[in-house]
A and B are shown apart, each in its own frame.
Chain A
Amino acid sequence: MFKNYLIQIHNLTKRYEKLTAVDNLSLNLEQSEVFGLLGPNGAGKTTVIHMLATLLKPTSGSATVNGFDILREPEKVRASIGIVFQVPSSDDLLTGYENLKIHAMLYGVDPGVREKRISDALELVGLTERKKDQVKKYSGGMRRRLEIARGLIHNPKVLFLDEPTLGLDPSSRETMWKYIQQLVKQEKLTIILTTHYMEEADMLCNRVGIMDKGKIIALDTPTKLKLMLGGDIVKLKLKKQDSNIDVLKNLECIKKIDSLDGYVLLSVDDAKKNIPEILKHVEVESVESSSHTLNDVFLKLTGRSIKEQQAEGGFMERYMQYDKH
């Protein structure tokens, strides 16, 4: 091994009686990477996280996290990682501050720096004002942010975020993204996040592994993954139906030209940048462009859409279960 990877996963497999949740997965992660595991529910993303966090024993295969073997040195692995679970796991009856303090003690944070660490973490996630409120009074977004603060309290090298915005409304989701991006900038952390929201992976991650049925079926930067589909689509309506568009064939940015219902459809690399150039050559009445999403990539690879599959809403489902008791 020439390179010093922060996380090395080798043939990791988790098999249940009838189901193979994670199937021979191998993956290496570098320091300061923000890596996204994208896939529909049941793809095995959370199972991977649980195995790396030593909460679940793999059926076979191995992995090291921060140089510690997940099977032989689970306690050292746990000391070096922070994790935010899919369902917030702070104690409702305790205040935000108390939750952080208890966890700081569980992680053996030195008493001399404990208070500073707690207030820094609260500041980072914007909860300083609410630190004395019981968590049951927090909104869903605030709970998630408290979880992140808790995950950072012991200065881990790796932070796992399991579906960090599941069940949040769009505006809380955006706030959450803002905090995560800030985190990446300030803390120089390596982050692994799982998500089934394409735009989330696209926005936050510098590398994405698309997961389906326990396997990683594509692995690259979001931009390159989308390029697999041959760039963006630009739809032109020409001023004169019969104008000569042959000139477009010579433009380097244009990969393909089709026509459909009186429109001209172009496959273009980086449409945003190249549309002005295209418009220099033809006179158009209207122009539209659409970018591929990671969902299109998933669709191309599996023939299914991530979106089509019902969001399991693990969060809401469990919420409803609580009510029964």
Chain B
Amino acid sequence: MTSIRVYGDKIYALWLREIKVFFREKSRLVASTFTPLLWLFVIGNGFGSSTSVTAHAIDYQKFIFPGIICMSVVFSSVFFGSYIIWDRKFDFLKSVMVAPVSRSTIFTGKTFGGMTNSLIQVSILLVVGLIIGVQFSPLALVQTVVIVLLLSFALTSLGLTLGSYMTSLEGFQMIVSFVVFPLFFLSGALFPIDKLPQWLSILTTIDPVTYAVDALRNIILGIGSHALGLDLMILLLYGCALGALGTYSFRRMKAV
């Protein structure tokens, strides 16, 4: 029992630190909420006024709302990997690694921190959604949270994996742009994925974000291309794979 409590304490300590830092760096929160809102309002209204991309009787802004939620998760989760580089730069990571804490515990605590960050940002977006007239049932809200956490787990793992191999923030940002934008654009966050040319369709199919967008569209708007169960399964698989990769990367990460 004691060892379970101690293990819980260790993860809680790592998580707590991430959350405290998150709330103390107000600029982080503001900057990361601003971009999705820009997309939602400018692209949402801009394209919405001139084109009708959906077969459904839903205005474009509402149509991309689930996609924008996923976008916020993609950006915040993958970029969260940069904090492992900061931690290394400021030697905080060394002080954690010299504590009797296993690498997989460090990875887990860090990932929980990233997932919480994403969830906080998504909560803000959900409130904005209510304002623009998107409606959710309590069940839909719970389902949304589950999908967001799954996607965030997978992508925080990916971000931390990349961060664990890198020493410079500039390098990380370069690499991450190559990861984040394709993940977002290929996910169908901004367009329906039913009638795409084949090459694009293939890329869309391998993008994990596609399944989160599809699931949220299903949950929030009642329109989806796949069954919700399938989306969930695929997100879980990606989560397991990327979580395992992250744990492995943390184990082989050099301390000094």
Which residues of A are at the interface with B, using a C-beta cutoff of 8 A? 50, 53-56, 75-76, 78-79, 81, 83, 85, 87-94, 98, 101-103, 105-108, 111, 134, 150, 321-322, 325
Asked whether, in the complex, the Cβ of B95 is within 8 Å of the Cβ of A103, the reply is yes
A79 to B97: give the CA distance in the assembly, Å: 11
Whether, in the assembled complex, B194 has its beta carbon less than 8 Å from a beta carbon of chain A, the answer is no
| Cross-chain contact of A56 among B20, B89, B90, B256 (Cβ < 8 A) | B256
Whether, in the assembled complex, B174 has its beta carbon less than 8 Å from a beta carbon of chain A, the answer is no
Contacts of B90 in A (CB 8 A): 89, 91-92, 322
| Cross-chain contact of A83 among B14, B21, B98, B169 (Cβ < 8 A) | B98
Asked whether, in the complex, the Cβ of A93 is within 8 Å of the Cβ of B25, the reply is yes
Whether, in the assembled complex, B133 has its beta carbon less than 8 Å from a beta carbon of chain A, the answer is no
Report if A325-B169 is in contact (Cβ < 8 Å); known contacts: A78-B100, A108-B9: yes
Whether, in the assembled complex, B128 has its beta carbon less than 8 Å from a beta carbon of chain A, the answer is no
Q: How distant is B71 from chain A, measured CB to nearest CB, in Å?
A: 26
| Cross-chain contact of A106 among B25, B89, B96 (Cβ < 8 A) | B96
Asked whether, in the complex, the Cβ of B98 is within 8 Å of the Cβ of A53, the reply is yes
Contacts of B14 in A (CB 8 A): 102, 106
Which residues of B are at the interface with A, using a C-beta cutoff of 8 A? 6, 9-10, 12-14, 16-17, 20-21, 24-25, 89-92, 94-102, 169, 255-256
Q: Which 5 A-B pairs have the closest CB atoms?
A: A105-B13, A89-B91, A79-B100, A55-B255, A89-B95
Q: How distant is B117 from chain A, measured CB to nearest CB, in Å?
A: 14
| Cross-chain contact of B92 among A81, A89, A98, A105 (Cβ < 8 A) | A89
| Cross-chain contact of B256 among A50, A75, A111, A325 (Cβ < 8 A) | A50
Q: How distant is A285 from chain B, measured CB to nearest CB, in Å?
A: 56
Closest residue of A by beta carbon distance from B100: A79
Report if A93-B21 is in contact (Cβ < 8 Å); known contacts: A55-B94, A102-B16: yes
Closest residue of A by beta carbon distance from B106: A106
Closest residue of A by beta carbon distance from B10: A106
Report if A85-B95 is in contact (Cβ < 8 Å); known contacts: A55-B255, A93-B25: yes
Q: How distant is A135 from chain B, measured CB to nearest CB, in Å?
A: 10
Q: A75-B102, A103-B95, A134-B24 are in contact. List 10 more A-B contacts (CB 8 A).
A: A55-B94, A55-B98, A55-B255, A85-B94, A85-B95, A89-B92, A89-B94, A91-B17, A93-B20, A94-B20
Asked whether, in the complex, the Cβ of B100 is within 8 Å of the Cβ of A108, the reply is yes
A101 to B90: give the CA distance in the assembly, Å: 19
Contacts of B91 in A (CB 8 A): 85, 87-89
Give the dominant DSSP class at B's interface.
helix
Closest residue of A by beta carbon distance from B87: A91
A150 to B97: give the CA distance in the assembly, Å: 14
Q: Mind listing 27 A-B residue pairs with CB under 8 Å?
A: A54-B98, A76-B100, A78-B99, A78-B100, A83-B98, A85-B94, A89-B90, A89-B92, A90-B92, A91-B21, A91-B92, A93-B20, A93-B25, A98-B17, A101-B13, A102-B14, A103-B13, A103-B95, A105-B9, A106-B14, A106-B96, A106-B100, A108-B6, A134-B24, A321-B89, A322-B89, A322-B90
**Centre residue among B16, B95, B101 by max chain A CB count within 10 A:** B95
Closest residue of A by beta carbon distance from B16: A102
Q: How distant is B149 from chain A, measured CB to nearest CB, in Å?
A: 24
A85 to B91: give the CA distance in the assembly, Å: 9
Contacts of A55 in B (CB 8 A): 94, 97-98, 255-256
Closest residue of A by beta carbon distance from B102: A75
Contacts of B21 in A (CB 8 A): 91, 93-94
Contacts of A321 in B (CB 8 A): 89
Closest residue of A by beta carbon distance from B101: A106
Contacts of A92 in B (CB 8 A): 90
Q: How distant is B102 from chain A, measured CB to nearest CB, in Å?
A: 7
Asked whether, in the complex, the Cβ of A105 is within 8 Å of the Cβ of B10, the reply is yes
Contacts of A76 in B (CB 8 A): 100
| Cross-chain contact of B99 among A50, A90, A106, A322 (Cβ < 8 A) | A106
A106 to B95: give the CA distance in the assembly, Å: 10
Closest residue of B by beta carbon distance from A86: B91
Closest residue of A by beta carbon distance from B11: A105
**Centre residue among A75, A91, A103, A325 by max chain B CB count within 10 A:** A91
Q: How distant is A86 from chain B, measured CB to nearest CB, in Å?
A: 9
A81 to B17: give the CA distance in the assembly, Å: 22
**Centre residue among A83, A102, A150 by max chain B CB count within 10 A:** A102
| Cross-chain contact of A108 among B10, B97, B102 (Cβ < 8 A) | B10
Contacts of B16 in A (CB 8 A): 102
A102 to B16: give the CA distance in the assembly, Å: 8
Report if A102-B13 is in contact (Cβ < 8 Å); known contacts: A75-B102, A91-B21, A93-B21: yes
A92 to B92: give the CA distance in the assembly, Å: 9
Closest residue of B by beta carbon distance from A103: B99
Contacts of B99 in A (CB 8 A): 78, 103, 106-107
Contacts of B169 in A (CB 8 A): 325
Asked whether, in the complex, the Cβ of B17 is within 8 Å of the Cβ of A94, the reply is yes
Closest residue of B by beta carbon distance from A105: B13
Contacts of A93 in B (CB 8 A): 20-21, 24-25
A321 to B99: give the CA distance in the assembly, Å: 26
Q: How distant is B174 from chain A, measured CB to nearest CB, in Å?
A: 14
Contacts of B25 in A (CB 8 A): 93
